[in-house]
Structure 1
Amino acid sequence: MPVAAIADYDDNNIFARILRGEIPNKTVYEDQWALAFHDINPQAPVHVLVIPKGRYVSWADFSKQASTEEVAGFVRAVGTVGEMLGLEAPGYRLLANAGLDAHQEVPHLHVHIFGGRKLGPMLVRRTEG
């Protein structure tokens, strides 16, 4: 699914629908700024998504449009969730895809939290040749 331009937030994307309570989720954490829930197609033993409650497509959109309180609240929520899940000591990975080349599938800013095992290198290294 193509990601909309910053001004083109899709109010019917799956995360917007989850925020409105139209689609159930397995909530891990919620506060006034963010919602965290288990991914329906986990890529690691622990795979949780953290989304801001505002209508933001990407980090660029969020950093330009969100209030200082929203930014701080969202960043704190991501850290809180990692700690709540017991991932702080063994380690975990945060991933936020932005745009088509990064394979962002839902046009709502979100951070993936991966953990529960050694995750290996972040990207497959390709040799030139």
Structure 2
Amino acid sequence: MSDESISSRLALLNSHLSPMASEKEAALAAVPSDSPTIFDKIINKEIPSKVVYEDDKVLAFRDISPQAPTHILIIPKVKDGLTGLSKAEERHFEILGRLLYTAKLVAKQEGLDDGFRVVINDGPNGCQSVYHLHIHLIGGRQMNWPPG
């Protein structure tokens, strides 16, 4: 994916559209691939982020367009073909568990003792806009049901 393509997608995400429309538009504009993503640039420190947790396997940072008082993205540092949950294979078993456990650690660190939501968007209909598996940790307010 070119820098121009990444920039145009970021601009779309931050456009004047409502948050729901922006997410849907970004997801529809995203092209599923195993190419480097904006998250790779964040992992490589080429793009700044507000890191809240990092170890040798995962990185957690604040979402640039938060949908709640606490909105953190948790990603594997090595994509290994894991562009989305639907692409998971048995070899991804360990990192999938580590991502969820990291969500629990970060939720505690962020003081989300009254609860939180963990979301994984998958594919265009799931509103996935970056094809590098990531978990949204959302909290700090009452969540609604159904979610969307």
Gaps of 5+ in 2: 1-28
Higher relative contact order (CA closer than 8 Å, sequence separation 6+):
1
* Segment drifting more, 99-108 vs 76-85: 76-85
- Could you tell me how far 1:75 is from its partner in structure 2? 2.5
Aligned pairs for 1:1-129 (under 5 A) are 1-4=29-32, 8-11=33-36, 13-55=37-79, 56-66=82-92, 68-87=93-112, 89-124=113-148
The one-letter amino acid of 2:86's match is: A
- Structure in which a larger fraction of residues adopt helix: 2
CA distance in 2, matches of 1:37, 1:46: 11
Q: Which consecutive segments of 4 or more residues in structure 1 shift more than 2 A? A: 60-66, 68-75
Note the aligned Cα RMSD (angstroms): 1.6
In the superposition, the TM-score normalised over structure 1's length comes to 0.82
| CA displacement at 1:3 relative to structure 2 | 4.1
Shift of 1:49: 0.5
- Residue 123 of structure 1, CA deviation: 2.8
Deviations 1:52-74, CA, capped at 9 Å, x for gaps: 111120113234442x4433332
Q: Distance in 1 between matches of 2:46 and 2:103?
A: 23
Letter in 2 for 1:22: E
Do the aligned residues in 1 keep the contact of 2:99 with 2:135 (CA within 8 Å)? no
The number of aligned residues is 118
Q: Percent identity?
A: 36
| Unaligned stretches of 5+ residues in structure 1 | 125-129
Report the AA paired with residue 83 of structure 2. Answer: V
TM-score by length of 2: 0.72
Name the CA distance, whole Å, in 1 between partners of 2:89 and 2:60: 20
